[in-house]
Amino acid sequence: MHALMQTFFDRLSTKVGLDETESAAIASCCSEVISVGADIEIIPQGSEPDRLHLLLEGWAYRYVLLPDGRRHISTLLLAGDFCDLDALRVKRLKFGVATLGACRIAGLSRTALHGVMERHPRVAQAFLSLAIAENEVLTRWNLSLGRQTAKERLAFLFCELVFRLLGSDHSDPESKIVFPINQSELGDVLGLSTVHVNRVLQDLRARKLIELCSDELRILDWKGLASLAYFAASYLSVDGENSPRPMAVF
Amino acid sequence: MHALMQTFFDRLSTKVGLDETESAAIASCCSEVISVGADIEIIPQGSEPDRLHLLLEGWAYRYVLLPDGRRHISTLLLAGDFCDLDALRVKRLKFGVATLGACRIAGLSRTALHGVMERHPRVAQAFLSLAIAENEVLTRWNLSLGRQTAKERLAFLFCELVFRLLGSDHSDPESKIVFPINQSELGDVLGLSTVHVNRVLQDLRARKLIELCSDELRILDWKGLASLAYFAASYLSVDGENSPRPMAVF
DNA sequence: CGAAGTGTTGAAGGGTTTCAAGCATAGTGG
DNA sequence: CCACTATGCTTGAAACCCTTCAACACTTCG
């Protein structure tokens, strides 16, 4: 058992409320842990993987391509996220997964996980919780893409990422974080052109809301950025019981 | 047991692969079936419902509001859809639900469903399938809102709705369907202003792709509309095994 | 009949894209 | 060590998609 892996199964089990037996059952489905470099396509769009991929370390993303080449990045994946939860119940994935920086990824056998879910009902419920949590994030991004301006979307993304990276530790949201994603990729996340991302970033910098240069981001004014974006930290909490306490926003 | 309800539990169980015992266990959680009129708010945003709502008849939608009043409709709900699957694992809903036309809705006790999931692991897996299916739809809409034009989005929505209403029966996709949603609401679904929805609709009509007037929609050219929207019917299939055969598109 | 809701149209304006070019940095091979 | 290349960031100008505002027609309904 890989040590890094155990860490994340522990974290997973506290998030969705599993005991040690159940957590160990999931861990036993892990067939391998691989390391991959930056900008590598892990799972091509439309493939039929026989295992689920759990991101242990690094940054990755899910993307969808239109036949004419337009691309949208639907989710940024951080350490602890499943890359392809859908593979549990869907054979053919509608999205692809690729890395941003170097990553470490655990592979969990799909059929083994099915067996675990049959024997441990709580495990299936835990995965249900994860799917529902993804659902809420996607719903919030639908709102952002449909009804918020470019500036608000950028601000929202920064708040979300900082919260996901630091929120559960109750760290200072104005700490510096690594940020291995360029302006072209930001555009694909936010539904904007690279040029416009650049201009909005300059505006956010000029307003002293953020500091962003070469792979590092710092939010200078968390309250200001969060209220500009209408970011409510509670939107990332899975459950009433064992969710991280949200950062103060308004 | 309400007859209409049984119909939908049957359909649900074929979609996600449940046997009669499991299906009956879910049905036993139903505490009531209510009828509501058009334009009624069933579940306010941020509420903590003690039951899940299954839409038996009619059209409804999930919406999210920003504090300044901007609204986005994240999902259109048709007969057979759960209005608030999230309530299974989340106490406080981040969205609200309201009706478009008159609806009939079954209420299923949240705690009773939890009990059923404990005793029947397959039921939890069935709900997981439903959550993942919602996930795929939301992901596709993220692509649409982020990277497709107004005309493509409108075309996509029409294809999706017709497919969801007729696709599983292998009906003619160019049949007429009821369409109880006005241009302002369309705008809230698509992230567009009412005025622009109006103009794009005129364009689609002029191109002889659709016919739309007062509560009725007919797609005149399914292939043309689907290819304009990059609509791939396969995107709505939950599973490789027991999914409806997709309509031909390209 | 007046009121309210929905669809339609025109004109002006703004947010965003596209195209094009220039600059900086880092890595590569000669 | 230095061209050479690739990649990412920045800037300007024009064009475009879409929004906003305002007004009007039509239908439904009390």
Concatenated DSSP letters of B217-232: EEES-HHHHHHHHT--
What's the mean pLDDT in A154-183?
90
A72 touches strand C (CB under 7 A): no
Residue nearest to nucleotide C6 (CA to C1'): B182
What's the mean pLDDT in B45-64?
96
Note the pLDDT tens digit of each residue in A84-135.
Answer: 999 999 999 999 999 999 999 999 999 999 999 999 999 999 999 999 999 9
What does the pLDDT read at residue A44? Answer: 95
B119 vs A contacts (CB less than 8 Å): 121
What does the pLDDT read at residue B4? Answer: 76
| A110 vs A12, residue with greater confidence | A110
By percentage, how much of chain B surpasses pLDDT 70? 94
A99 contacts: CB under 8 Å, gap ≥ 6: A36, A37, A38, A39, A40, A42, A58, A59, A60
What does the pLDDT read at residue B247? Answer: 43
Note the pLDDT tens digit of each residue in B83-140.
Answer: 999 999 999 999 999 999 999 999 999 999 999 999 999 999 999 999 999 999 999 9
B28 touches strand C (CB under 7 A): no
* Conformation bin of residue A248: beta by default, left when phi > 0, alpha when psi is -120 to 50: beta
pLDDT at A191 over 50: yes
- Confirm or reject contact between B69 and chain A (CB < 8 A): no
A85 vs B contacts (CB less than 8 Å): 132, 135
Contact A88 B128 (CB under 8 A): yes
* Residues B6 and B27: beta-carbon distance below 8 Å: yes
Note the pLDDT tens digit of each residue in B157-207.
Answer: 999 999 999 877 778 888 899 999 999 999 999 999 999 999 999 999 999
Q: Which of A131, A124, A240 is nearest to B85 (CA)?
A: A131
pLDDT band at B66 (very low <50, low <70, confident <90, very high): very high
Q: Please name the member of B66, B141, B230 whose beta carbon is closest to the beta carbon of A230.
A: B66
Q: What is the DSSP string of chain B?
A: --HHHHHHHHHHHHHHT--HHHHHHHHTTEEEEEEE-TT-EEE-TT---SEEEEEEES-EEEEEE-TTS-EEEEEEE-TT-BS-GGGGT-SS-SSEEEESS-EEEEEEEHHHHHHHHHH-HHHHHHHHHHHHHHHHHHHHHHHHHHHS-HHHHHHHHHHHHHHHHHGGGT--TTSEEE----HHHHHHHHT--HHHHHHHHHHHHHTTSEEEETTEEEES-HHHHHHHHT--GGGG---SSSPPPPPP--
What's the mean pLDDT in B237-249?
45
B101 touches strand D (CB under 7 A): no
Residues in B 34-63 with any Cβ partner in A closer than 8 A = 62
Q: How far is the CA of B224 from the C1' of C21 (A)?
A: 39
* Mutation target among A64, A77, A86, A89 for the B interface, most CBs of B within 10 A: A89
pLDDT band at A147 (very low <50, low <70, confident <90, very high): very high
Q: How far is the CA of A186 from the C1' of C18 (A)?
A: 18
What does the pLDDT read at residue A243? Answer: 41
By percentage, how much of chain B surpasses pLDDT 90? 78
pLDDT at B143 over 50: yes
pLDDT at A164 over 70: yes
- Confirm or reject contact between B231 and chain A (CB < 8 A): no
Pick the residue from chain B with its C-alpha nearest to A15. B89
Q: How far is CA B2 from the centre of its chain?
A: 22
- Min mean pLDDT across A70-79, A203-212, B168-177 is at B168-177
Global pTM?
A: 0.93
pLDDT band at A175 (very low <50, low <70, confident <90, very high): confident
Residues of chain A (90-149) having a beta carbon less than 7 angstroms from strand D: none
pLDDT at A183 over 70: yes
Q: How far is the CA of B193 from the C1' of D19 (A)?
A: 7
